[in-house]
Amino acid sequence: MVNIANLVKQAKEMQEKVAQTQEALATEIVIGTAGGDTVKIKMNGRKYVEDIEINDEVLKDKEELVDLLVAACRDAAEKADALTEKRLADSTGGFNLPKGVSFPV
């Protein structure tokens, strides 16, 4: 027979681990790049942009710069998503939450 109290305890422990993981993600940095590294976006695991580096050669063309910034942001966001997915899988013992379901931050 399933012990409900034990299941609730395990769920709370998992929730605490996930919360700790989400806090730790705020300190982990990924770098998104575009244009052969002419634009670099440093983003933390919570998808907050921490820094932007732009090579002087792309400052002359505004449209190109915008395109490179968008591409670098997308690259960084994809890397942040992958990092988050890995860290959360580690903290839940491989128990995958369904898409769109997460514990509150």
Sheet holding 39-44, edge to edge: 29-34, 39-44, 49-54
- Residues 40 and 81: beta-carbon distance below 8 Å: no
Cross-strand partners of 60 = none
Task: Say if 33 falls within a structural domain.
Answer: yes
Q: Are 46 and 79 in contact (CB under 8 A)?
A: no
Helix, strand, or coil (residue 58): helix
CATH code, 59: 3.30.1310.10
| 76-85 pLDDT per residue, tens | 999 999 998 8
Range of the domain at 33: 24-91
Domain assignment of residue 40, yes or no: yes
In a domain, 15, yes or no: no
Give the model confidence (pLDDT) of 50-63 as tens digits. 999 999 999 999 99
The pLDDT-based confidence of 105 (bands split at 50, 70, 90) is very low
Backbone angles phi, psi at 74, to 5 degrees: -60, -45
pLDDT average, residue stretch 95-102: 58
Rounded-to-integer distance, Cα 83 and Cα 31, Å: 12
**Separation between Cα atoms, residue 6 and residue 3, nearest integer Å:** 5
Two tokens, residue 83: 């990092």
- Is residue 13 a part of any domain in this protein? no
The predicted pLDDT at position 71 comes to: 98
4 inside domain = no
Number of domains in the chain: 1
